[in-house]
């Protein structure tokens, strides 16, 4: 086993080789530290786009780190791609897959946020004196609540 100072000097491709051939956990820790910014960047991009709550970030982070490990184990330098490109594609794909698998959670969270926004607007509009027709508001709120119960099943 190499010490961490020597591992820090290795290229990503060399670290991937150590992980693949020697199953080096030390090499993976160094690689993980190098790619943690990329992992968070990808997660931020997808989580913002899908309006996912922070409750699922740590779970997605675990999936992303597993994807990084798999990227190291599956990397083949003979194919002519840089490891960074290969790792990015693997992590990005895993995060997309995680979101698609948990789509019902995403939809439920989005619906809950919209309902909360409607309720907030209703309470603020009552305080300001402007208030749309009660029937319209009650229809909107009922619609959101019905959709939330559908996602809860």
CATH code for position 74: 1.10.1740
More confident residue, 27 or 101: 27
State the DSSP code for 54.
Answer: G
- 122 and 91 within one domain: no
Q: What is the pLDDT of residue 76?
A: 93
* Residue 146 and residue 138 in contact, taking contact as beta carbons nearer than 8 Å: no
More confident residue, 142 or 34: 34
Q: Which two tokens stand for residue 138?
A: 């009650």
Range of the domain at 78: 4-101
- Alpha-carbon Rg for the chain, nearest whole angstrom, is 23
- 96 and 24 within one domain: yes
> Structurally, how many domains does the chain consist of?
2
Mean local confidence (pLDDT), 15-43:
93
- Summary mean pLDDT of the chain: 79
Other CB atoms within a 10 A radius of the CB of residue 48 amount to: 9
- 79 and 120 within one domain: no
Q: What is the pTM of this model?
A: 0.65
The model's confidence at residue 152, banded by pLDDT at 50, 70 and 90, is very low
Q: Which two tokens stand for residue 82?
A: 């840089």
**Cα 14 from chain centroid?**
27
The model's confidence at residue 60, banded by pLDDT at 50, 70 and 90, is confident
Side-chain half-sphere CA neighbours of 13 within 13 A: 9
- 94 and 43 within one domain: yes
Angle among Cα 52, 56, 57 to the nearest 5 degrees reads 95
- 139 and 115 within one domain: yes
């Amino acid at each position: 086993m190499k010490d961490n100072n020597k591992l820090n000097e290795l290229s990503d491709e060399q670290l991937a080789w150590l992980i693949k051939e020697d199953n080096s956990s030390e090499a993976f820790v160094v690689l993980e530290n190098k790619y943690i910014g990329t992992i968070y960047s990808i997660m931020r991009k997808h989580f913002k786009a899908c309006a996912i709550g922070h409750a699922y970030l740590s779970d997605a982070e675990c999936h992303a780190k597993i994807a990084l490990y798999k990227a190291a184990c599956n990397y083949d330098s003979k194919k002519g791609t840089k490891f960074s490109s290969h790792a990015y594609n693997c992590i990005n794909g895993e995060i997309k897959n995680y979101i698609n698998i948990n789509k019902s959670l995403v939809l439920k969270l989005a619906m809950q946020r919209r309902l909360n926004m409607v309720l907030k607007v209703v309470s603020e509009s009552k305080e300001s004196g402007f208030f749309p027709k009660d029937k319209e508001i009650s229809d909107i709120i009922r619609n959101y609540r019905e959709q939330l119960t559908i996602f809860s099943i």
